[in-house]
Structure 1
Amino acid sequence: MENKAIARTLRLLSQLMELHDQNPFKIKSVANAAFKVDKLPFAIKTKSLEEIAQIDGLGKSISAKVWELLQTGTMAELQDILKETPEGIVEMLGIKGIGPKKIMVIWKDLAIENIGELYYACNENRLIEAKGFGLKTQEEIKKVIEFQMAAHGKFLYAQAEPLVNKLFEDLAVWLNGFQAEPLLGVAGDYRRCLEIIEEIDFAIGTEQIQEIYDQIEQFQPLQFDKQDNNTLVALSPFGLKIRLHLGTKADFYLNWFKLTGNDEHVAAVLKIAGEGPFDDEQAIYKKAGLDFIEPELREGLNEIELAQTGKLPQLIKYEDLKGSLHNHSTWSDGVHTLEEMALYCRDHLQLEYLGMCDHSKSAFYANGLNEQRIFGQHQEIDALNARLAPFKIFKGIESDILYDGSLDYSDDILKTFDFVVASVHSILRMDEEKATSRLITAIENPYTTILGHPTGRLLLSRKGYPIDYKKVIDACAANKVVIEINANPLRLDLDWRWHRYALDKGVLLSVNPDAHRTEGFHDMRYGILVARKGGLQPQQCLNAFSLQDISQYFNNKK
């Protein structure tokens, strides 16, 4: 083992000791030893135990740890303390800008146990309220985590979107400098609105293929490498892979189609339609005897069969939404007041209603509402509803699902709400049988209206807890419980791959932003994108109901 590896191990031990509030003198000696070992002019592995003990700053105790590390590859003391520390907390120690003291606050005060949850908390603005943090520190942590995500070459759709839009604009301007203005379209996973993006494909139709190929060096934003088949490849400064596919104008729509759908979809359609030429994508499907299939659905599932029989869903659009459910205000961990959230919905978004679902009392880290504060919030809602009518604020709560599946209020409290979103926020590590049973118990509670972010996943950072999707969805169908599509780009949970099963079972879905500030309402657009992938139609979406219809729905449920 090299000196630097030994030093890193000692440094980790000192950080973990500090995290667990151990003897400060012992912590300082281990940290000092890590520094000394890193600066040694010789390889410590060539020395005996006695020689190591003579090194300045090590001494008998730490030299024994170093010797154990050299002989076994680890240290018993380190392993013991690691057993007491969540894996995600250890990973946080590698984030630049936060040391053990801040991580202790994150872990113990905010109940955050991994980097994904930390990033989500930054988006919710929860760090600025914690001891030792501020807006600047929160933004720095967020940037570091985003950089780590990008280093793996994978991006959330919402992260890739501004990069793609800017690149599209720059390419369009540059290509317009050529004769007969080339055609340009975004394709691939991005056009199909997948939740995780690894590369971006652009289709270009032009009669000047060779000229563009030869002059691509003049396109300043990126440095492209030339490959076979008239393909140009670049890596953006953010780590996103970009491909330009050059073809003739006559073949543009065929190429765009090929680059958009997955392999199964493309092969199935072209087997019937042939290779064109085609004037547009509609012509391809018409030649194949199919109704036009929207890009989001081109996943090689059953969309071809539905298109053959005229049973394709009329996909929901953002404009179909009439209100926003599951949102937070300053009553718990939101940034804006209840009134500010309501006015933004009414005046800026032109919505008919707002569902306010601040955190329940178990979410102490998010300033969850106890019974007395619930009464106070309901009084404010009544006053606002009298003043803002016909716009309406519904009294909701995001009630924590406890370990045994019960909700964290008595029935007497639960019945005071217009609707209840039941969500899991803690004790995420359990096997599939227990996790499924826990959710089903919550679903069977007569006061549960919506099952919130069903798996608790955080994309690119935390897997959802394991559940039997069919059993959970079947339970929602049996108990007339709505399932949330949490529209936060980090969640997009329920996964779109299970939307069709839920819809076939007659379960309503709800596109909920989980907004903690007014800007968060706009996340509903990302929820709509994945809802479209799942085949959601307006009449199957709870918050596409009119104010009158959703009021009746809530009354019937109660």
Structure 2
Amino acid sequence: MATNAEIAARFEEFADLLEADDVEYKPRAYRRAAENVRTHPSPIADRVEAGDEAVLEEIDGVGDAIASKIVEYVETGGIDELEELRENLPIDIADITRIEGVGPKTAGKLYRELGVQTLDDLEAAAEAGEVQEVKGFGPKTEQNILDNLEFARTVGQRQLLGEARPLADDVLAFLESIDAVQRCEVAGSIRRWRETIGDVDVLAATDAGEDVVEAFVAWDSVDDEIESGPEKASVRVGESRVDLRVVVPGEFGSALQYFTGSKDHNVALRNYAIDRGMKLNEYGAFDVSDVEDEEAGQRVGERVAGETEEGMYEALGLPWIPPELRTDRGEIAAAEKGELPDLITREDIRGDFHSHTEWSDGNTDIEAMVEAAADMGYDYYGVADHAEGPGIVGGMGLSDTEILEQVEAIREVGAAADIAVFAGIEANVDADGEIGLSEEVIDALDVIVASTHSALDQDAETATERLVTAVENPAIDILGHPSGRLLNERSGLEFDATALGKAAAEHGTALEVNSNPRRLDLWGSAVQAAVEAGAPISINTDAHQPSTLEYMRWGVHTARRGWAEPSDVINTWDLEDVREFLH
């Protein structure tokens, strides 16, 4: 059965091939559809196969034409129109467009002029000096291709948020050290806290743009300068690309709003502005109600906002919308009605229920983990080492006898600790949704986190039934990393997040946002579906050593992408309420 990600990938390929064929407008429509298909909370193919094609009407950006292609793909495993595009342009489009400066249009031109279909073809043509002979190219472009071939071959995946954001923080720290920089902030997907990142986008406000660009390119951490000019520069730091754009201080807010995105949010916001006689762009918000020719320029009309991002929304009569919500999933309508959520913050977190010690696969003892949790200012903390079971390799899971021994050890540490310490376990949800713990063990524990570690290739209907069975088990307090996915490694289970959320709400079982940056499971749209269903959420780190308790940062922002408020998340509650929930 096709997954949402697989269907989305087909439409992303559609968009690239259409753009390579110089088709206008359609590529963006396919990209929008791809993004909304990818993040839809329920398995689309499952519902279509069951005859519920109404699901396609729920997906923004999916009209009749695209809907028919989804049905065709689900039913046949292919799309005739896509096959025709592939025959017309037999290009490894994803590989070739990883080359810096080579987009779909360029790839199409190189195919038509030189017959380039693969990275190997492109390398051969560049080494033979043929690329620079193509109109619109030249020796510099040809050399750029040669310089970037290795990078394109080795970097085929987006970078994890947990890897990219620390680099972004370093970039900001460097820019803040430059006297000419008045303000700076990250933009793009990294500011929206997407789980994977393409490039690190940074914006700086300054009256000395060329000086700031020059200093940025000369930064000690830069390994290679990709390009630079008076208003922007791109460099490579390690395997990451960092793009800097400089703007005058009076346009920082509008540029920040524009370059943060997402594209869908910005388009929806611009349309909202048009309906109110306003025009939004990277230079500001303009009142164009009295302007006859709005196409006369970017700065046409009376400029009413732009210095701050808050002002851009205020100009439309809206409150500021947090970056995590800017996905065009109803945030503008909620802002208009005054119904934006009061999103959870890192400061709201009072504990962590899922972490590991050297009793299973952690790297340190119980005392060190509890001490680290206390140092973070937590009120309570739970140890949840692995129980033995399917998917736990290397004999790292604890038997029932070992679990009971660890409970005693945890009680001893807890008696001397400054915070409440819960004795827990991470049980394994088998293929049928059951856990293999004895009643004696269940009675001895304070908290049971149950997670999937095996049979991750189940179809969506089976996976949903499996997870629902787990949350219906009164012994289970928290369903850990529900899909079992590992970002950039495996997709994990696909399931109906709304159905799971309803079951969790009915049975009082929390659904975990696993903060490990390789997981971030649940993800934004799934959290939103669960919250709307009334399910309690638990944000946990799955820490294996004291330092990884800091993973909480990633989990909180992921929950924010799902519209979660503090009251939705059990580890913002006080100790008395937590004890009541667990028992």
For Structure 1 versus Structure 2, the TM-score category normalised by the shorter chain is: 0.5 to 0.7
Query: What pairs with 1:111-260 in structure 2 (closer than 5 Å)?
Result: 151-152=155-156, 154-174=158-178, 176=179, 178=180, 181-209=181-209, 218=218, 221-222=221-222, 223-226=224-227, 231-260=231-260
Give the whole-Å Cα distance in 1 for the aligned partners of 2:539 and 2:198.
Answer: 25
Residue identity opposite 2:400 in structure 1: E
How far apart in 2 are the matches of 1:240 and 1:253?
26
Unaligned runs of 5+ in 1: 1-146
Instruction: Note the 1:43-62 alignment, pairs <5 A.
Output: none
CA drift of 1:544 comes to 0.8
Distance (Å, rounded) in 2 between the aligned partners of 1:216 and 1:350? 37
Q: Of the candidates 386, 397, 405, which is equivalent to residue 368 of structure 1? A: 397
Matched, 1:395 2:423: yes
Instruction: Provide the residue aligned with 1:383 in structure 2.
Output: 412
Query: Which position in structure 2 is the counterpart of 1:428?
Result: 456
Q: TM-score, normalised by structure 2?
A: 0.65
1:485-504 alignment runs, 5 A limit: 485-504=513-532
Structure 2 residue ranges without an equivalent (≥5):
1-150, 280-284, 286-302
Rate the CA distance shift 1:211–1:413 in 2: closer, same or farther, 3 A.
closer
Map 1:417-456 to 2 at 5 A.
417-456=445-484
CA distance in 1, matches of 2:428, 2:478: 12
**In the aligned structure 2, how far is the partner of 1:495 from the partner of 1:313?**
17
Q: 1:167 to 1:395 in 2, by over 3 A?
A: same
Residues in 2 aligned to 1:375 and 1:283: alpha-carbon distance in whole angstroms = 58
Structure 2 residue 478 is matched with structure 1 residue 474: no
- Which residue identity does 1:358 align to in structure 2? D
Distance 2:258 2:212 in 1: 21
Structure 2 match to 1:358: 385
8 A Cα contact 1:149 1:155, kept in partner = no
Report if aligned partners of 1:486, 1:492 keep a CA contact under 8 Å in 2: yes
- Other-structure match for 1:299: 327
Per the TM alignment, residue 153 of structure 1 is displaced from its structure 2 partner at its CA by 5.4
1:92-150: CA deviations, max 9, x gaps?
A: xxxxxxxxxxxxxxxxxxxxxxxxxxxxxxxxxxxxxxxxxxxxxxxxxxxxxxx9997
Q: 1:337 to 1:309 in 2, by over 3 A?
A: same
Per-residue deviation at 1:217? 5.8
**Distance change >3 Å, CA 333–CA 226, structure 1 → 2:** closer
**Alpha-carbon contact 1:432-1:468 (below 8 Å) kept:** yes
Q: Is the 8 A contact 2:318 2:335 kept in 1?
A: yes
Structure-1 separation of matches of 2:377 and 2:214:
50
What does residue range 13-162 of structure 1 map to in structure 2 within 5 Å?
151-152=155-156, 154-162=158-166
**How far off is 1:266 after superposition?**
2.2
CA displacement at 1:428 relative to structure 2? 1.9
- Shift in Å, 1:218: 5.0
The answer for the alignment partner of 1:308 in structure 2 is 336
Mapped contact 1:423–1:451 kept (Cα < 8 A): yes
Note if contact 1:149-1:460 (Cα within 8 Å) is conserved in structure 2.
no
CA drift of 1:466 comes to 2.3
* Separation (CA, whole Å) in 2 of partners of 1:221 and 1:517: 28
* Aligned position for 2:442: 414
Q: Distance in 2 between matches of 1:214 and 1:341?
A: 45
- More moved, 505-514 vs 545-554: 545-554
Judging changes above 3 Å, is the alpha-carbon distance between structure 1 residues 409 and 171 closer, same or farther for their aligned structure 2 residues?
A: same
Write the distance in 2 (CA, Å) between the matches of 1:501 and 1:532. 13
Query: How many Å apart are 1:304 and its aligned residue?
Result: 0.8
Change (3 A) 1:360 1:204: same
Letter in 2 for 1:544: T
1-structure distance, mates of 2:493, 2:249: 48
**Shift in Å, 1:233:** 4.0
Contact (CA 8 Å) 1:333, 1:366: kept in 2 or not?
Answer: no
Distance 1:545 1:483 in 2: 15
Inter-partner Cα distance in structure 2 for 1:413 and 1:507: 26
Task: Report 1:460-539 matches (<5 A).
Answer: 460-539=488-567
Separation of aligned partners in 2, 1:215 and 1:371: 60
Amino acid at match of 2:171: L
Name the % identity.
Answer: 31
Equivalent residue of 1:358, what SS?
strand
Question: Greater CA deviation, 329-338 or 479-488?
Answer: 329-338
The alpha-carbon distance between structure 1 residues 218 and 518, as it changes in their structure 2 partners (threshold 3 A), is closer
Note the aligned Cα RMSD (angstroms): 2.5
Between the aligned partners of 1:212 and 1:518, the Cα distance in structure 2 is: 38
Matched residue of 2:177: which SS? helix
- Residue 476 of structure 1 aligns to a residue whose secondary structure is helix
Deviations 1:369-408 (A, max 9, x none): 212112211222222333225x211121111112222111
Could you tell me how far apart the structure 2 residues matched to 1:214 and 1:508 are?
50
Taking the aligned partners of 1:148 and 1:338, their CA distance within structure 2 comes to 44
How many residues end up aligned between the 2 structures?
A: 402
Contact 1:329/1:341 (<8 A) preserved: yes
- SS, match of residue 326 in structure 1: coil
Q: Is contact 1:269–1:285 with CA below 8 Å preserved after alignment?
A: no
